[in-house]
Amino acid sequence: MHKLKINNFLNRIIPGNSLDILRDIPDESIDLIFADPPYNLQISNKLTRPNNSLVKGVSEEWDKFDSFDDYDKFTIQWLTQAKRILKSDGTIWVIGSYHNIFRIGSKLQDLGFWLLNDIIWIKSNPMPNFRGRRFTNAHETLIWSSKNKNNKSYNFNYDAMKSLNDDIQMRSDWILPICRGSERIKINGEKAHSTQKPEALLSRVILASSKVGDIVLDPFSGSGTTASVAKKLDRKFIGIEKDLNYVMVSKQRINSISSYDSEALILTESKKSKPRIPFGQIIERGLLKPGAILFDNKKKYFAKIRADGSLITVPPNKSISGSIHKVGASVLGSSSCNGWDFWHYYNNKKIVPLDFFREKLRKEKNK
Ligand SMILES: C[S@@+](CC[C@H](N)C(=O)[O-])C[C@H]1O[C@@H](n2cnc3c(N)ncnc32)[C@H](O)[C@@H]1O
């Protein structure tokens, strides 16, 4: 089938059925997919509070399927297209509740996606369980998958996530409130969309797994949360939504916002993504000389550089030799040590960590 060029889809909320629209999107053209598909909640009765007021849940037609089998067929159809349009290093996020996420997880695996994480979004302000016959349903699950097992080069901004979390590795349990206050879009005082997701959730997803300029697609766009956050973070977006009212709501929403300035969008860079420089190269290139004595920042431990790029401790320290990391860990009595940050030397009479010399070489390489 003739496919349109990807540019025809960019930065638009496309009205229509995802099962049709996705087919027109070219192969391997999308960096990131976030999908918040119908949950198939199977709500048959109206839910009321103890005071008999009606709970506004998800009772719309778009959430209704005749059977689990029908839901599975629908899931396989859109996930098959999602896999085709994802770039080889692209990833997909699918959010769901206990009603649908297990079915979706198994279909993802059946279709050859590789599950990277399941994230538990813990709602800090969940809706109570009105009838008191079950636990309060206080979380949703997000499954994050790469296109297949073999592709290890998918985008994960590990250091940016760590930085967002006060320099502690980001975990898979995210505590965030549900969408509320001024963020909740209302029309005549009523919620414009029953399942509008919080921007904070999308912001974390998009920051974690894409870069500025990437194409982010949401096949069940709803009120346009994914597109709005993608625009703020200077990514390109494609939303697909079959309900024309929601298309209108989301277009207004997107038009009213602009991207953050480009400097604010530079992420903490992963050291792993920088070119590897072995310590030996610093010696070979003459930035440090064999025989020079390195020290820690408190000048408690000392070690001599050898011609092969290894270190040997200097008396009165017990004699230990090995890599900058191994000798650092041994003197500290620790299982590991980053020798680049631990050992120091002089540069123009100023004390600097070894990392200073490594960065110098990296900059040369980038010229
Ligand atoms: C769970 S809601 C998504 C809410 C969205 N994440 C937000 O923050 O507003 C699912 C949306 O998918 C739409 N939808 C359902 N089936 C669809 C289909 N086959 N094609 C396109 N949109 C569909 C519904 O109209 C609904 O707005």
Q: Which residue has the tokens 């990437």?
A: 214
Note whether 177 and 96 are same-domain residues.
Answer: yes
Cβ(199) to ligand 1 under 6 A?
A: no
- Residues 280-294: what's their mean pLDDT? 93
Whether the per-residue pLDDT at 219 is higher than 90: the answer is yes
1 lies in some domain? no
The reply to whether 28 falls in a domain is: yes
Q: Whose CA is nearest to atom 12 of ligand 1?
A: 220
When pLDDT is cut at 50, 70 and 90, the band that residue 317 belongs to is confident
Residue 342 pLDDT class (50, 70, 90 cuts): very high
| CATH number for position 21 | 3.40.50.150
Ligand 1 touching residue 253 (CB < 6 A): no
Least confident range of 124-133, 144-153, 164-173, 334-343: 124-133
Reported as a single tens digit per residue, the pLDDT across 112-157 is: 999 999 999 999 999 888 888 899 999 999 999 999 998 889 999 9
Whole-number pLDDT of residue 62: 82
Helix (H, G, I), strand (E, B) or coil at 120: strand
- Least confident segment among 51-55, 74-78, 195-199: 51-55
Residue found under tokens 């030397």: 345
* pLDDT value of residue 2: 54
**Residue in 34, 223, 241 to alter for ligand 1 test, most ligand atoms within 8 A of Cβ:** 241
**Does the predicted TM-score (pTM) go above 0.75?**
yes
Distance CA(205)–CA(226), nearest Å, equals: 10
Q: Which atom of ligand 1 is nearest to the CA of 197?
A: 8
Residues 250, 329: one domain?
A: no
Q: Are 358 and 365 in contact (CB under 8 A)?
A: no
Query: Considering only 1-5, 179-183, 273-277, 287-291, which range has the smallest mean pLDDT?
Result: 1-5
* Single residue among 235, 270, 305 that ends a domain in this structure: 270
Percent with pLDDT over 70 in the chain: 93
Residues 210 and 76 in one domain: yes
Tens of pLDDT, residues 61-86: 787 898 999 999 999 999 999 999 99
Please indicate whether residue 222, judged by its CB atom, sits closer than 6 Å to ligand 1.
Answer: yes
Give the whole-angstrom CA distance, residue 189 versus residue 180.
13
Cα 116 to Cα 105, 147, 202, distances in angstroms: 11, 10, 17
**What pLDDT does residue 268 have?**
74
* Bridge partners of residue 13, in order along the sequence: 239
pLDDT the model gives residue 194: 92
Residues 62 and 203 placed together within one structural domain of the fold: yes
pLDDT of the residue at 293: 96
- pLDDT tier at 58, thresholds 50, 70, 90: low
Mean pLDDT for the stretch of residues 327-352: 94
Same domain, 256 and 279: no
Domains contained in the chain, number: 2
**Is the same domain home to 43 and 190?**
yes
Give me the mean pLDDT over the 182-198 stretch. 94
- Residue 350 and residue 266 in one domain: no
In this prediction, residue 54 carries a pLDDT of 64
User: How are beta strands 293-295 and 350-353 bridged, if at all?
Assistant: unpaired
Tell me which residue range forms the domain holding 148: 6-270
Ligand 1 atom nearest to CA at 19: 19
Q: What would the pLDDT profile of 237-279 be if each residue is shown by its tens digit?
A: 999 999 999 999 999 999 999 888 888 888 777 666 677 888 9
pLDDT value for 47: 63
Q: What is the pLDDT of residues 9-30, one digit of tens each?
A: 999 999 999 999 999 999 999 9
Q: Please indicate whether residue 242, judged by its CB atom, sits closer than 6 Å to ligand 1.
A: yes
| Residue 308 CA: distances (Å) to CA of 98, 304, 359 | 58, 12, 20
Whether residue 297 is contained in a domain is answered as yes
Residue 62 in contact with ligand 1 by CB distance below 6 A: yes
Q: To test the ligand 1 pocket, which listed residue (97, 220, 221) has its Cβ within 8 A of the most ligand atoms?
A: 220
- What's the pLDDT at 218? 98
Please report, rounded to a whole number, the percentage of residues in the chain having pLDDT higher than 90.
75
What is residue 52's predicted lDDT score, i.e. its pLDDT?
67
Q: How large is the greatest C-alpha to C-alpha distance in the chain, in angstroms?
A: 83
User: Which residues sit opposite 352 in a β-bridge?
Assistant: 345
